[in-house]
Amino acid sequence: MSDEIFESDVVTAAEEQVIHIVDELSEAQRERDEYRDALQHLQADFENYRKRVLKSSEDAAIRSAGDVVVKLLPVLDAFDLALAHFSQSTSEESAALIQSRALLLDTLSKDGLERIDAVGAEFDPQVHDAVAHVEGDGDSQVIDEVLRAGYRWKGTVLRPAMVRVKG
């Protein structure tokens, strides 16, 4: 009978050891899953951070370039005035002026500058600054004359067009 008790104690001890090992394995698996979840969250947070920093950097570059373009708007205005003054002239100087203006506008247009100067377009207070009004037909308000061109830089209005409205 003492042999039976001894074998029973050995089986119980072995079972306890197996249960202990299984518990440790379960705990290790749980910790592994927690660490993996934490790592996945950390990776997602870092990816979101990276995208946010990249977007912020791009926005800052666009704003900075827009600031430079705003400083060039008086130059474009001077070209427009000179072009209006020399429009009938066929001299080499007027041709050079026209080419210089076209080159500057073309270069800035390729980078995102849009000119706002459509006569006959519907009046939009977001992009037009009405400084004069002329009576017209109908209820709609249209641009009758552009007094000073406006400009957009990559979709953002830098300066509204100064216009006379008809209607």
pLDDT in tens, 33-90: 999 999 999 999 999 999 999 999 999 998 899 899 999 999 999 998 888 888 787 8
- What is the C-alpha separation between 153 and 113, in angstroms, rounded? 5
Q: How many residues does the chain have?
A: 167
Helices (H), 86-128: 92-111
Average pLDDT, the chain: 87
Q: Looking at the whole model, is its pTM more than 0.85?
A: no
Angle, CA 117 vertex, CA 115 and CA 118 arms, to 5°: 120
Residue 144 main-chain phi, psi, to 5 deg: -90, -40
Query: In the structure, what pLDDT confidence band is assigned to residue 26 with cuts at 50, 70 and 90?
Result: very high
CA distances from 51 to 37, 45, 46, 47 (A): 21, 10, 9, 6
For the chain, what are the domain ranges?
113-167
Give the neighbor-by-neighbor strand order of the sheet with 142-148. Answer: 128-134, 161-166, 142-148
Report the top-level CATH class of 113-167.
mainly beta
Among 104, 106, 96, residue whose Cα is nearest residue 74: 104
